[in-house]
Amino acid sequence: MKTDEASIGERIKMLRQAKTLTQEELATRAGLTKGFISQIERNLTSLSVESLIGILDALDEKPSRFFDGAFAEKIVFKLKDRVELEKEDVKKFQILVPAAQNRLMDPAFLELDVNEKTPEEEPHEGEEFGFVLSGSIEIVLGGKAYKLKKGECFYFEATKKHFIANRRNSKAFVLWVSSPPNF
């Protein structure tokens, strides 16, 4: 069966297994019996909203996420899926994978015209990675500048103020990834 057609019981089972919990452990956390969890997972019984909320709490899963199609994992993202963000002084900044708040990283496409730069970001939790697809850029991290050209990449902990600048005479294109999502 495709995961996008999974029943509530199958979804609960997938979540439980993803959290590496046994039926008994889930039952204990949710204040239910192992037999009841087994019946739910095999779609042999229905459950009350109260029981469902208890199970989702035990799985540390929000009800809204449980029903929002999170089990129909999207693998391919087309051009039409991109989300254009307004960034001060930046020609084009696109989020490549929407709904990053449910993911571990946030990939973006950055186009910088000549002498453009991204706004300076304050230090934050996480790491950032970028790959220069075309042109040349400069990463300024904690006041120190690092020059990169096509085919080179950067990777740093975002514990210092930082921005990306194009100091050359041609456009620059960068694949930029933040983890956890920060854009």
Domains of the chain with CATH codes: 3-66 (1.10.260.40), 79-179 (2.60.120.10)
Nearest to 133 by CA among 90, 82, 94, 175: 175
Report the pLDDT value the prediction gives residue 32, as an integer from 0 to 100.
94
**Rounded (5°) CA angle 131-136-141:** 70
pLDDT in tens, the chain (183 residues): 333 345 788 889 888 887 888 999 999 999 999 999 999 998 888 888 899 999 999 998 888 778 775 556 677 888 887 888 877 778 788 888 876 556 788 899 999 999 999 999 999 999 999 999 999 999 999 999 999 999 999 999 999 999 999 999 999 999 999 998 877
Nearest to 106 by CA among 135, 128, 122: 128
Report the pLDDT value the prediction gives residue 92, as an integer from 0 to 100.
87
- Could you tell me which residues are beta bridge partners of residue 94? 84, 109
Report the pLDDT value the prediction gives residue 65, as an integer from 0 to 100.
78
Report the pLDDT value the prediction gives residue 4, as an integer from 0 to 100.
39
* CA–CA separation, 4 and 2 (whole Å): 5
